[in-house]
Amino acid sequence: MSKWDKKYIELCEEILEKGVRVKNRTGIDTIKIPFKSFEFDLEEEFPILTTKFVAFKSAVLEMLWFYQAKSNDVRWLQDRGVKIWNEWEIDENGHYQDRVFPKEYAHTIGTAYGYIVNKFNLTDKLIKKIKETPTDRRMIMSLWQDDYLETAVLPSCVWNSMWDVTDGKLNAIVTCRSNDVPLGMPFNICQYAVLIHMLAQVTGLKPGKLYYNAKDLHIYVNQIDGIKEQIKRYKELGDLPAPKLWLNPEIKDFYDFDNSKELKDIKLINYEHHGKISMPVAV
């Protein structure tokens, strides 16, 4: 059965029982705990929740938007039916809420995520190091660049990943500055698990472990009912077997993986779940 569901439900119960209610920039209070760390053995299980449906294709396409397309243009996602960044899109006049951006940032999220990946060529540098100097202790992708924070609509939440090769396996240590547990966390963990698998395949390695470190793990107060429903499902229905991740074995170059709406080269096999739970996103 899914080990990730058990960890996740325990986390949600801890937040609801021991968390502190705080105000934040969105105007919707959260219940939060300060920090939590998780470890996933990717040879043992692919970490995606089964107690609720997680939109696998949307999660993977968002990750590919960052690291493969290296884009901050929201239209790239919209063309693939992914709407998760619509609320943060700078309009055609350079406006977002009460902020004004250079017009060149219209239809983007400003200088965050894929913009930083492209600006500093992070993906290519990482792949080169994994292939050529796998014992390098400086294999890091940092999306937190101080000079670009003011022109980012939302500074990167998952802002840092450190990469390691040990015993022929590729591992990643991922750091998140702020984690929306009902919506963001299930996506983030799934995304970086897929990224490890993809990079391992194109560098001749096996997928190893994902170490996920998160600060400010929170549940918005208007998401509590949805989380309670998920906890109830776990207790009454249990979790389900974890699915398997399939990557097209013919792909040897990270940029050759299909990033169309169909995601032909990246699929989940036998993903069973207990159905969707609608929860609002705070902007």
Residue 93 lies in a domain: yes
Report the half-sphere exposure of 191 (CA within 13 A, side-chain side).
23
List pLDDT tens digits, range 219-235.
Answer: 999 999 999 999 999 99
Distance CA 121, CA 282 (A): 31
> What's the pLDDT at 141?
98
Report the half-sphere exposure of 36 (CA within 13 A, side-chain side).
19
Residue 193 lies in a domain: yes
Q: Is it the case that residue 1 has pLDDT exceeding 90?
A: no
| Total domain count, the chain | 1
What b/e sequence results for 129-140 when a residue is b if at least 16 CB atoms lie within 10 Å of its CB, and e otherwise?
bbeeebeeeebe
Predicted structure pTM score: 0.97
Our answer to whether residue 190 is catalytic in this structure is: no
Residue 161 sits in a domain of what CATH number? 3.30.572.10
List pLDDT tens digits, range 4-43.
Answer: 999 999 999 999 999 999 999 999 999 999 999 999 999 9
Residue 279 lies in a domain: no
Catalytic residue among 12, 157, 176, 190: 157
What percent of the residues of the chain are helix, what percent strand, and what percent coil, each to the nearest 5? 35, 25, 40
> What's the pLDDT at 216?
98
Residue 277 lies in a domain: no
* 116 and 143 Cβ atoms separated by less than 8 Å: yes
Which residue range is the domain that position 149 belongs to? 3-269
